[in-house]
């Protein structure tokens, strides 16, 4: 893990300085009893906000022989409560801070807490890491019906709820197509009966093995999504890690594939 250096402090305090007023900096420095460059001599100086924060952090880190003051400063200013009505500003600054911290083996979580991670080693990796999940999914071309379940409020560092809602969205789409009140695998199996389908794929007449295989493949995909992401209860073992971004991306890509296939489908008979 790379040691926090002055370059890191300079960049982080530059970002943080844009988020607070001079009066707020005075309160924060006083709260933690940190060195205040503008008042230590007894004469009021006129420094930039970044310079006040940078000078204080360099001094305090050296005095304490610890990066704890810098982490406290980040967490103080990047408290999610302060961004309640400005999620775009939160996401931008979270991304910028994590781009820098990643090279030193740390990141600021969506909950506003610093945690250790494997250090970033390249610019490309840093850009990729600093992307939000929504940005990563958009880069993958994930269906718009999935993206709407990926708001920060739904994700909230625990992907289970967003994945559950996205999987329910697939079933709701099938219900809308078939005017049905059925749910879960029952809905899927009734809608995609090979001999008496309620939903068919455009251009697929189920007349040969290839067409039947394509149809069964879509049905299997939908059932798999339902089994893995829609049906598990709070007491049943889950087949994915609800805190893993990688597992979440896998889930959303599968659900996206289902929506892409359903874009090609239409209803030929209604279900109960």
Q: What is the pLDDT of residues 120-158, one digit of tens each?
A: 888 888 877 777 788 888 888 999 999 888 876 577 657
Mean pLDDT for all residues in the chain: 89
Lowest-confidence pick of 83-87, 90-94, 101-105, 226-230: 83-87
Within the chain, strands assigned E span: 106-108, 114-116, 199-201, 265-267
Q: Who contacts 205 (Cβ-Cβ below 8 Å, separation ≥6)?
A: 211
Token duo for residue 228: 């893995």
**What's the gap between Cα 71 and its chain centre?**
22
Chain position carrying tokens 């704890």: 68
Rounded to an integer, the average pLDDT of 78-103 is 90
Asked whether residue 31 carries a pLDDT value surpassing 90, the answer given is yes
Asked whether residue 211 carries a pLDDT value surpassing 70, the answer given is yes
Task: Give the DSSP letter string of 222-234.
Answer: HHHHIIIIIS--T
Asked whether residue 43 carries a pLDDT value surpassing 60, the answer given is no
Lowest-confidence pick of 93-107, 128-142, 230-244: 230-244
- Is the pTM higher than 0.85? no
Taking the C-alpha atoms of residue 123 and residue 141, their distance in angstroms, rounded to an integer, is 23
Q: What is the pLDDT of residue 161?
A: 86
Q: What is the pLDDT of residue 169?
A: 95
Confidence band of 44 (pLDDT split at 50, 70, 90): low
Confidence band of 216 (pLDDT split at 50, 70, 90): very high
Q: What is the pLDDT of residue 233?
A: 59
- φ, ψ of residue 266 to 5 degrees: the values are -145, 160
Higher per-residue pLDDT: 25 or 241 = 25
Asked whether residue 205 carries a pLDDT value surpassing 60, the answer given is yes
* CB half-sphere exposure, 55, CA atoms < 13 A: 14
Rounded to an integer, the average pLDDT of 20-30 is 92
């Amino acid at each position: 893990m790379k040691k926090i250096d002055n370059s890191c402090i300079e960049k982080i305090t530059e970002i943080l300085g844009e988020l607070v007023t001079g009066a707020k900096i005075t309160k924060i420095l006083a709260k933690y009893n940190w060195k205040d460059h503008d008042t230590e001599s007894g004469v009021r100086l006129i420094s930039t906000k970044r310079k006040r924060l940078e000078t204080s952090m360099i001094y305090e880190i050296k005095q304490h022989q610890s990066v704890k003051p810098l982490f406290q400063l980040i967490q103080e200013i990047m408290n999610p409560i302060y961004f309640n009505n400005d999620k775009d500003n939160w996401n931008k600054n979270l991304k910028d801070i994590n781009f820098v911290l990643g090279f030193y083996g740390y990141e600021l979580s969506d909950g506003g807490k610093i945690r250790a991670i494997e250090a970033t080693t390249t610019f490309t990796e840093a850009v990729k890491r600093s992307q939000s999940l929504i940005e990563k999914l958009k880069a993958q071309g994930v269906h718009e019906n999935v993206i709407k379940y990926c708001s920060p409020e739904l994700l909230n560092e625990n992907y289970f709820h967003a994945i559950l809602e996205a999987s329910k969205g697939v079933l709701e789409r099938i219900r809308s197509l078939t005017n049905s009140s059925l749910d879960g695998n029952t809905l899927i199996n009734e809608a995609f009966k090979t001999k008496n389908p309620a939903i068919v794929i455009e251009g697929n007449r189920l007349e040969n093995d290839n067409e039947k295989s394509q149809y069964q493949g879509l049905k299997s995909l939908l059932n798999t999504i339902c089994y893995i992401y829609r049906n598990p209860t709070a007491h049943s073992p889950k087949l994915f890690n609800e805190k893993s971004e990688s597992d979440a991306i896998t889930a959303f890509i599968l659900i996206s594939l289902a929506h892409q296939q359903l874009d090609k489908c239409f209803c030929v008979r209604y279900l109960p």
